Structure 1
């Protein structure tokens, strides 16, 4: 019986490693499909078409200008954190004390993984390019149409770090909270990553290639190996327990 369980575990681990290698290869292939062609091939055509589609509307609708200005303000980034926090809070409220502690620790592990993957991606991807608002001429820029703080440009937009963080969040939700949480987190990804494309602070491929490549290569080795569980165990072991204060009547 024990031998059967061990063999089953070995088979599962080998399957996961094979899948990790496959996902990493897919990430490399995705990046090379963009990086190797002259001027990025068909990706460049798609990037340009998406940017000009959304940029054209800035000259036609004042409400649209305000919408992009607001959704790309730094305060809106806090809304993305709030949305992610509310999703995790929905699970935290249903859990007992041990479960709540575990959810907090999963959040810390997710943050650590996001920082490490983001830093590796920023340093290992041999790309540096400006956002479309700094690349194209004769275009509309929100900062010229409305004089309020907003992010409509970036001198180094690849890979999209904002999109990368959101995708890592989605991966952790899938691994530890299930399919329903994953679907909701994907909605959060779209809602909070898409405004960056619409305003021109990022190219489409900054996220669809850059962010996704980093996540495909890095995240499976965190979530589909014992690594994330071991980090959670270490946090659980060494972080001090929360002491409850007794209330005297």
Structure 2
């Protein structure tokens, strides 16, 4: 029964809350700020010294590159989908819908956290801005970067892969998350903690209750009954 997961759920909740409070409670975010600043300035210096790095960062933060991240996640999901029969494919489609709804809801809840700040590219004077150094349209700043929306979506994807497709899919999803979250940090559109603290704490708390209880399966079953266009023939 699901209640056997309760100790793990509570542990994940404690971990998520402790992670957030370790950032929220100390003055100037405690030990997190030096980590954030060091990571930002390390990459920011490279923008002015390496043209190859500058182009890489600009391209990987272009809106079109977000489509590549979605395509990569879709291809991983498709690799499992094509191996299923008709009934299982229907269920996978519905699970995909639930995953998208979960990402949207957790993202909205995340923005209720009592933290709001500008991206590091807007927080320090005299820094290198990719949009000013190169002509490629790119996202190098955010007026409110906490928590990281993109990182949260990727983490929700990881959780669903682990819950419904197993550890192998989860391992690949984690790799996808690392690859597609890093560009936002490298360009300065997000602090490291926007993702490692903001996105992670929300997902640890929210996804644990949603995926380790019957809640997500109940939603999948409800949609299965109420989406006639997906009914089996």
Task: Place the TM-score, normalised by the shorter chain, in its bin.
Answer: over 0.9
Cα shift at 1:148: 2.2
**Residue number in structure 1 paired with 2:208:** 220
Alignment partner for residue 238 of structure 1, among 222, 226, 229? Answer: 226
Alignment partner for residue 3 of structure 2, among 14, 18, 42? Answer: 14
**Residue number in structure 1 paired with 2:192:** 204
Structure 1 unaligned segments of length 5 or more: list them.
1-8
The answer to whether structure 1 residue 111 and structure 2 residue 138 are counterparts is no
Q: Structure 2 matches for 1:131-170, cutoff 5 A? A: 131-170=119-158
Cα shift at 1:62: 1.2
CA–CA distance in 2 between the matches of 1:79 and 1:241? 29
CA–CA distance in 1 between the matches of 2:221 and 2:75? 24
TM-score by length of 2: 0.97
The answer to whether structure 1 residue 128 and structure 2 residue 116 are counterparts is yes
**Residue number in structure 2 paired with 1:49:** 38
**Residue number in structure 2 paired with 1:177:** 165
4+ runs deviating over 6 angstroms: none
Cα shift at 1:20: 1.1
Q: What is the CA deviation profile of residues 107-141 of structure 1, one whole-angstrom value per residue up to 9, with x for unaligned ones?
A: 00101111111111112x10110000000112111
**Residue number in structure 2 paired with 1:73:** 62
Structure 2 unaligned segments of length 5 or more: list them.
none
Cα shift at 1:77: 0.5
CA–CA distance in 2 between the matches of 1:224 and 1:217? 11
CA–CA distance in 1 between the matches of 2:36 and 2:225? 47
TM-score by length of 1: 0.91
CA–CA distance in 1 between the matches of 2:229 and 2:45? 55
The answer to whether structure 1 residue 89 and structure 2 residue 75 are counterparts is no
CA–CA distance in 1 between the matches of 2:193 and 2:27? 15
Cα shift at 1:51: 0.4
The answer to whether structure 1 residue 23 and structure 2 residue 12 are counterparts is yes
| 3-state SS of paired residue (1:183) | helix
The answer to whether structure 1 residue 191 and structure 2 residue 179 are counterparts is yes
CA–CA distance in 1 between the matches of 2:110 and 2:174? 21
| 3-state SS of paired residue (1:127) | coil
CA–CA distance in 1 between the matches of 2:110 and 2:184? 19
Change (3 A) 1:57 1:241: same
The answer to whether structure 1 residue 34 and structure 2 residue 23 are counterparts is yes
Q: What is the CA deviation profile of residues 28-80 of structure 1, one whole-angstrom value per residue up to 9, with x for unaligned ones?
A: 11011011111011100000000011111011111111111100000000111
RMSD value over aligned CA atoms? Answer: 1.4
CA–CA distance in 2 between the matches of 1:181 and 1:243? 27
